[in-house]
């Protein structure tokens, strides 16, 4: 599969958001803010910002960085512990799970969820699987 450069996108006249950072939406959010924060941190783990086994920044520093309350970050951290992205180590704080295979599976599960949502949305607006494949190839 050929990888495309930014100039390829410009030549084809497409507008593409190449920034993968997610912003937090406060005005009628589709997801509660704490879940948006959890998704942002998961994305950073997937992109390698936080490597397996590394200590997570403190709740206070994350709340300042993201611009939300400490309680919101604490709820996000709880969700991420529940979903096995991070683990709490007594007296040491929170750490990204060190099992790279488990992280790879979590990343694959996230990709499958995104793809399923994409395919469902495309089918709802009348695209067949064949049309979707052609669209992706032409893109």
pLDDT digits (tens, 9 = 90+) for 48-66: 999 999 999 999 999 999 8
Q: Please tell me whether residues 69 and 133 are part of one structural domain.
A: no
pLDDT score for 24: 76
Whichever domain contains 70, its CATH number is 1.10.10.10
pLDDT for position 5: 38
Tell me, yes or no, whether 82 and 16 share the same domain. Answer: yes
Q: Is the alpha carbon torsion for 41, 74, 32, 113 positive or negative? A: positive
Quick one: DSSP state of residue 97? -
Query: Can you list the residues of the chain whose pLDDT is less than 70?
Result: 1-23, 27-29
Q: From the DSSP assignment, how many helices (H) and strands (E) are in the chain?
A: 6, 2
Q: Are residues 124 and 92 in the same domain?
A: no
Domain of 68, in residue numbers = 1-98
The residue to which tokens 């991420």 are assigned = 80
- Considering the domain architecture, whether residues 120 and 87 belong to the same structural domain is answered as no
pLDDT for the residue numbered 29: 64
CB 73 within 8 A of CB 62: yes
Structure tokens given for 20: 């993968």
Four-residue CA torsion sign, 34, 36, 42, 48: negative
Asked whether residue 128 falls in the same domain as residue 94, the answer is: no
- Whether residue 22 is found in the same domain as residue 82: yes
Confirm if 34 and 72 have CB atoms less than 8 A apart. Answer: yes
Whether 59 and 91 map to the same domain: the answer is yes
Count CB atoms within 10 A of the CB of residue 20.
9
User: Other C-beta atoms within 10 Å of 96: how many?
Assistant: 21
Q: Tell me: do 17 and 71 sit in the same domain.
A: yes
């Amino acid at each position: 599969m050929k990888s495309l450069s930014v100039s390829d996108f410009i030549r084809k006249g497409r507008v593409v958001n190449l920034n993968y950072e997610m912003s937090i939406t406060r005005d009628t959010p589709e997801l509660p803010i704490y879940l948006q924060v959890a998704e942002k941190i998961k994305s950073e783990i997937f992109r390698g910002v936080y490597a397996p086994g590394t200590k997570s920044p403190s709740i206070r520093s994350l709340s300042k960085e993201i611009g939300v309350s400490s309680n919101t970050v604490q709820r996000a951290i709880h969700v991420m512990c529940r979903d096995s992205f991070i683990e709490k180590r007594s007296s040491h704080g929170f750490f990204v799970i060190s099992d790279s295979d488990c992280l790879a599976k979590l990343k694959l599960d996230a990709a499958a969820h995104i793809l399923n949502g994409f395919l469902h949305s495309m089918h709802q607006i009348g695209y067949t699987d064949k049309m979707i494949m052609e669209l992706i190839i032409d893109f």
